[in-house]
Amino acid sequence: MDYFHLQASQDTLEGISALGLAHLGDGVFELMVRSWLCLHGKATNERLHKAAVALVSAPAQSRMAHGILDKLTEEEQAVYRRGRNSHTSAVPKGASVGEYHAATALECLFGWLYLQGRTERLNELFEAMMEEKHHAL
């Protein structure tokens, strides 16, 4: 199996919980953030780590997610809602319940897209979020 070029079936995707998709999507999102940071000149380890932590936090993911909601297809919106409405046991310090649910929703969407091998769509959404973030930096 090639874990970088997946094409999971609809049955497989439906069999994975929203939190399972979010777990995977968290890793996908973090890898994309780390790649983006390396390619945008954050060369030292300390700067890379601080910048990555700032971008993958629930409040940051929530803000970025809200910036792309109008770009999501109906199917993507349904997956986003599935992640947002999932029952989580704890909310990390520094994040509101709403921020955490929005971050989980974004991660769920990223996991869902990744499992389908829809890397072009992942890149479109990620670039839209980072373009907005880059202007704010």
The set of catalytic residues is 26
- Provide the total of helices (H) and of strands (E) in the chain, helices listed first: 7, 0
Q: How far is the C-alpha of 58 from the C-alpha of 78, rounded, in Å?
A: 20
Q: How far is the C-alpha of 33 from the C-alpha of 20, rounded, in Å?
A: 20
Q: Is 67 helix (H, G, I), strand (E, B) or coil?
A: coil
